[in-house]
Structures are given as C-alpha cells and as structure tokens.
Amino acid sequence: MTSATNRATDLTPFPDHTQLPESDGTFVKNFQEHPQSILLTDSIKPILQQRHPDGQYCIGQDCGIYWRMTDPPEKGAAAPDWFYVGNVPPLLDGQTRRSYVFWREFIAPLIVLEFVSGDGSEERDTTPWKGKFWIYEQVIRPPFYGIYEVNQASVEVYELIGGKYQLLSPNERGHYSITPMGVELGIWQGEYQNMELPWLRWWDEQGNLLLTGEERAEQERQRAEQESQRAEQERQRAEQERQRADRLAAQLRSLGIEPEA
C-alpha cells in the first residue's frame, strides 16, 4: 500500500530553476565571450525597454535552458551564449534566475545566439536529442538562431519557417533583419574592452549602430565639447567685433567725429 508520503512525492511537480544546477561545470571558452555578451545586452537594452515598458523580459548570458528531465539534470539543458525572452518576468518570486526552465514557462526565446570557439560543428549539429541545432529547431524553437564565428568575422542567422530553420540572406548593409525586435544583427569591426575584433552587434532598422551606455556617454561628451568649442568661437568673434568697433570709434573721434551710439 502506498503511503501518504509516497503519494505526495509522486505528485511533486517537475523541478524549478532553484532546484536545478545552474552550471554544468565547464569554463567559458575564451576571453572574448563574456565581453561579447555584455556588448549585446548593453546596446539592446533601450530597444527592449521600449518594447517592454513593464520590464517583463529576460536576457540569458551563458545560462541553461532546461528542456527535458535527465540524469544528471544538466544533460537536459542547452546553454546558449546569449538569448532573449519577451513577456516573462526578469525575476522569479523575487529571486534571480538560475536558469530558464522551459516546462515551467513555455515561452520560447525569440532569439538564441551561439559563439563558436571550435570549428562550428557543435553549433550546427543536427543529431536528434543531442545536437544543438536539432534541440533549438525541434524542441526549444526560438524563431531566430544565430551562429557567430569571431575567427571568421561572420554570423549565420536562421529563421524558423514551416518548422525548419532556413538560412537568411543579409541585406544591402550585410546585416540580418530580426523583424520582431525592430533591429538588425551583423558584424562590426572595432575596439571594445581593449580588444580590436569583429564583434557581433545590433543596428536599428535604418542602419544606425546601437550604442552601449559608455559609447552614448562618450558621444554626449563629444557633443558637449563641440558645443563648448562653438560657444568659445562665437565669444571670440564677438570680442573681435567689439574691438573692431572700438578701433573705428577711436579713428572717428581722432577726426573730430563723434560716432553714433
């Protein structure tokens, strides 16, 4: 006969983010991955705040998405380097998310990004129940999946169409339109956090680069400096004009002519 305790155990729901491992114990693969995630998150925040004035969205950076129960549990998680999910709370019961548990929330990320460190075979693996590509396409099903290779200075973007990922073509700017977000994704060559690399970045639909908070502050500093320089130039012109008028008045007085006030 089954005891009440056993029946209660049998009815226990699937675990949540507080009961599942938040890491599989592997290292971040290289020094570029963490700055790359920060760059993507920092620059997209103003767009997401416009899309979600209630603040209901979350961003995962090298965090697990649990999609099935396994033993050990972390074998049932995919860990994208970066992903965005709309219309979900950033905290759960006041706690920072340890992972994103698919069977608890059901809402798929809108976009998942993987940063390639090896040859890219892991990110393109279509092996059923094991390969990242297969898991994203067949189970988690984010509408957009990007594979970024810093060593190739390239990004592939796939869109889920008819249940299958279709490779997108870049637009005239070499970017990929992520229409639901109102942004474009592409490669930007430049320096970020003291590294000159081909970084993965966002642009708006008009092709304007979305800036980080630091870049926006620097842009504002330069604008203020230019305004200050223009004001100083105007002050100098006014001073030169005053001096010219004073010289002219002195010349007129030397001729016995009182200049008009």
Q: What is the mean pLDDT of the chain?
A: 88
pLDDT score recorded for residue 34: 93
Q: Look at 115 and 259; give whichever has higher pLDDT.
A: 115
pLDDT tens digits for range 144-160: 999 999 999 999 999 99
Query: What are the respective helix, strand and coil percentages of the chain, to the nearest 5?
Result: 35, 25, 40
Model confidence pLDDT, tens digit, residues 49-79: 999 999 999 999 989 999 999 888 888 899 9
Q: Taking residues 230-235, what's their average pLDDT?
A: 84
pTM: 0.81
Residues 89 and 246: their CA atoms lie apart, in Å, by: 69
Distances (CA, A) of 11 to 6, 202, 208: 9, 45, 53
Answer for the pair 78, 101: CB distance below 8 angstroms, yes or no. no
CATH number listed for the domain at residues 11-210: 3.90.1570
Q: Is the pLDDT of residue 23 over 60?
A: no
Q: Is 70 exposed, middle or buried (0-12, 13-18, 19+ CB in 10 A)?
A: exposed
As a whole number, mean pLDDT of residues 33-59 equals 96
What's the confidence (pLDDT) of residue 220?
85
- φ/ψ bin of 182: left (φ > 0), alpha (ψ from -120 to 50), beta (otherwise): left
pLDDT for the residue 4: 37
pLDDT tens, residue by residue, 134-143: 999 999 999 9
Lowest mean pLDDT among 14-18, 31-35, 114-118: 14-18
The amino acid at residue 201 is R
Give the pLDDT of residue 21. 47
Whole-number Å distance between alpha carbons of 179 and 34: 26
**pLDDT at residue 9, rounded to an integer:** 37
